[in-house]
Chains A and B, each alone.
Chain A
Amino acid sequence: MLVSVPALGGLLTTGCSDTFRPPTVRSGLIGAADVLTMSTSRWLQRDQPLAREFGREHIAPEFPTWGQTNPDDERYQQHVSEQFRHWALPVGGLVQQPRSFSLADIKALPARTQITAHVCEQGWSAIAEWTGAPLSLLLEAAGGVKPEARYVVFHGVDRWYESIDMFEVVHPQTILAYGLNGEELPVGNGAPLRLRVERQCGYKNIKFIQSIEVVDSLAGIRRGTGGLSSDFGFHWFGGV
């Protein structure tokens, strides 16, 4: 995996300290605990283990819809009514060839299917089968990332946005899912495209993705914490 995306793999070694620290460290003991939690997790994950994958018999009878389930957004509803035929995903920022992907373009990339447990930070969990394009392959299709790239930012419908670092970007299970349990991803679960970042809690798995931006710093984006949930006060690293 790392060999197939040398531009991404190189960053794992050059941007080492980013791997162990969140982009912004909160003040006081909470910030110290954040750094301890993230660096401990990442040290234990230094060989990039996969999150557990389950057999089909473990798939939950239904997958919950939670939080934002049907965005009240005119343009989005237009795409829903057109079955996302005219929907397109701009991928920009620090990629070699910024471009747009139609849903068909994304589905044409080599797909990965994984049966994993979605772990919501609220307390619930459910096992489902996700099908999608590995994020690293999508970035490669945009010419790969530039050497200074450190984070990938996902912009969703409404004010939702989220970001992950290169350690998660290069992970094989980090996919942009368009399928849930063998069907098209339903609107309630983030159609047409949602992020699966299996080693972090539900709130990092942003739904209704509209655009992707590769950056070297999160400082200039919105409130600078790297996501709407971390703007609220959740820890940017959602591993626990």
Chain B
Amino acid sequence: MGAPSAPKVVDSSAVASTTAEPAPSEARRWVALHSYNVRICHWINVIAGGYLLLSGIHIFLDFPELYWGHTGYQGYPAIFRLSDWGLSWDEAGELGNRMWGRNYHFTSAWVFLINGVVYAVWSAWTGHFRERLWPARDELRASSLSAEVRDHFRWSSPARTAATRYGTLQKLSYSFMVFVFVPLMLLTGLAQAPAFAAAWPWLLDLFGGRQTARTLHTIGTVVFVLFVVVHVLEVLLAGAVNRSRAMVTGRFRVPEEAQ
């Protein structure tokens, strides 16, 4: 695993300057941080993921209990009941519209899936996964990880606001979402569908039943919400305007104090 490639300096004067002379400080201030693919797929993901979450909540509210195994219905031993947490069956049913939820859940799932395939193929092809998303071996050493965790819990960190590549914790969480979370959400979703369970009976064996798959899918929803909350918090801490702009235009301004 080689060193992650440094982001390209976009200022033309800096690119032209191939001599050993240091580039003027002004030229060092802007770097190209995010590729077209990452930016487009990211924002499609925001829309599709948002609809998946909202429609999923609607579907859940119309049957707000969770079970384990193949069988689960009102009156059968449940492992989670929303009514135990203060929202009765009827109140939840008032809030949830499963017809709207189902229509938008499956539509946004297709958008999410197609977008994800485009992202994955591009990222594997260009080396984005290998070079930017996957942690290097030395990054995973205990000393390196603990230093990063310490830095992480400082509210104001120049290393964070100036970073032009992902930190190790960031790489680990993104890799988890891409390679573990999304495939598991897809499979637990498909295991609940009778058409797919008939074609791929191993789906039921993999999770031990439709209700188990539904429960894991719901736990996954909580994981997704936690991911989004932490992700947005990190963006705010790392420079809300600078980071959001970089995800739109691709260009990132390296803060003065970090140069």
Spell out A's residues near B (CB within 8 Å).
29-30, 32-34, 36-37, 41, 44-45, 49-52, 54, 58, 60-62, 64, 117, 119-127, 198-201, 232-235, 238-240
Contact = CB atoms under 8 A, between A and B. Distances in A.
A170 to B, nearest CB: 15
B179 to A, nearest CB: 23
A50 B65 CA distance: 29
B147 interface: no
A123 B62 contact: yes
Contact of B110 (A36, A44, A127): A36
A33 B62 CA distance: 22
Nearest to B69: A58
B202 to A, nearest CB: 11
Given A41-B195, A52-B197, A199-B194, A121 B102 contact: yes
A240 B197 contact: no
A233 B201 CA distance: 29
20 contacts: A30-B107, A33-B106, A44-B196, A52-B197, A54-B70, A58-B70, A64-B74, A117-B70, A117-B210, A122-B62, A122-B98, A123-B60, A125-B70, A126-B71, A126-B76, A127-B70, A199-B194, A233-B100, A233-B103, A239-B196
Contacts of A199: 194-195, 198
Contact of B194 (A33, A51, A62, A126): A51
Nearest to A122: B63
B251 interface: no
Given A29-B111, A51-B198, A126-B73, 5 more contacts: A52-B197, A60-B76, A62-B75, A126-B72, A234-B102
Most chain B beta carbons < 10 A, residue from A45, A117, A234: A117
Chain B interface size, as a band, is: 35 or more
A198 B201 CA distance: 13
Contacts, number: 115
B83 to A, nearest CB: 15
Contacts of B193: 41, 239-240
A127 B71 contact: yes
B199 interface: yes
The 10 closest A-B pairs by CB, nearest first: A239-B195, A123-B63, A44-B199, A240-B193, A41-B195, A124-B73, A33-B107, A199-B198, A51-B198, A64-B73
Contact of A125 (B100, B109, B210): B210
B31 interface: no
Contacts of B102: 121, 234-235
B160 interface: no
Contacts of B65: 123
Contacts of B100: 233
